Amino acid sequence: MSELFSIRRPQGPIPASDKVRVRGMSHEELGAWLTEALGAPRYRSDQIFKWIHEKRVRSFDAMSNVPAAERARLEELATLEGHALDAVATAKDGTRKLRLRTSDGQFIESVLIPNDERGYTQCISSQVGCALNCRFCATASLGFLRNLHAAEIVDQVYLAQDMLEREAEQSGAQWPERVTNLVYMGMGEPLHNYNHVRSSLGILTDAKGAGLSGKRITVSTSGLVPAIERFGREGLGHEVGLAVSLNATTDAVRDEVMPINQRWNIATLLAAVDGVPMQRRRRITFEYVLLAEVNDSDDDARRLLRLLRGFRCHVNVIPFNPHAHAPYRRPDPERVRKFMHILRTAKLPAYLRTPRGDDIQAACGQLALEASA
């Protein structure tokens, strides 16, 4: 194992709270806690879980079917504290970037991308900053401040949905637009904050709460091999999708572009991904950010085909979105066309992803809390 790369440590822990963060509890955890702390009947957890995750209330007082004495006790012991919506920027293509202020004054970003189902795919953050140092990524320039608590991960979705409902009400639209799909591809490496990400998945997919479908959720990783193995062991591959940010076809290039490769190289990464049990109809997503004269040659395309042979997968090819924090360029359209042609001729399911929201720095790899929001 190389000593070249070490994963950054957080600048601090998740801030301690003297109250219980009930929004970050699973249905079962909430039920057990309510029984122990309040002596509440078991059915109370159904009611309270629904208030928090389906109706998305922000105060215990709003829980009208909970007895007043229990609400008062909840107020003393628990918190529904969440993020504040600090700013929203809307791109020409309808992509919206939300800047959120956490309760301890940190900023994170979350992006809403209009999708074909007349809703939004939300790209959510899992950390403040990031512990890895991918060279093409603006978030890396922030350093690694801290992990997000499960309550803070799910609250990104609830704030976005609240905003869409408010807008529908204001415009008189009959049906508010909805967050239909989630990708854990915002700030941070989700599998580096495994426990909170895992809890958030359980909460968001609970049918008695937000009820999002696991089929419409994808967790992305830059290649944290031990966590990918855990993801597989714990059966998460049966519940949600997995995306792997590959971005190179040789270790020499990947070592440079994604220094985590110095620790777990391409062969080790692909072996770990191959070991993740998945539902039969599900495919792994490989993300490939195309960097001019770095990883965009015909030889790269052919090596990519060889590397992914045997995988039930598809590849998202993303021409690089330039920003001030990275030394790379976007390949010209002809180079992109040739790269795609090689993949498609070999019948690899490959999709060219046009940058979304790049005029507001909301596109892939551009999240760095700049003034555009």
Contact set with ligand SF4 (CB under 6 A)? 130, 132-134, 137, 139-140, 187-189, 222, 245
Q: For residue 175, what are its two tokens?
A: 């049906």
Q: Crossing angle for the helix pair 194-204 and 225-233, nearest 10 degrees?
A: 40
Torsion of CA 120, 109, 230, 283, to 10 degrees: 30
Q: Which is closer to ligand SF4, CB of 164 or CB of 362?
A: 362
In 3-state terms, what secondary structure has residue 263? Answer: coil
Least distance from ligand SF4 to the Cβ atom of residue 309, Å: 25
List the beta bridge partners of residue 122. 112, 182
Distance (Å, rounded) from C-alpha 373 to C-alpha 369? 8
CB nearer ligand SF4, residue 48 or residue 134: 134
Between 52 and 227, name the residue whose CB sits nearer to ligand SF4: 227
Rg of the chain taking only CA atoms, in angstroms: 21
Give the amino acid at 22.
V
Instruction: Point out the residues that are catalytic.
Output: 109, 364
73-93 b/e (C-beta count within 10 Å ≥ 16 → b): bbeeebbbebbebeebbebeb
In which residue are the tokens 């976005």 written? 160
CA 198 to chain centre: 12
Minimum CB distance to ligand SF4 smaller for 161 or for 249 = 249
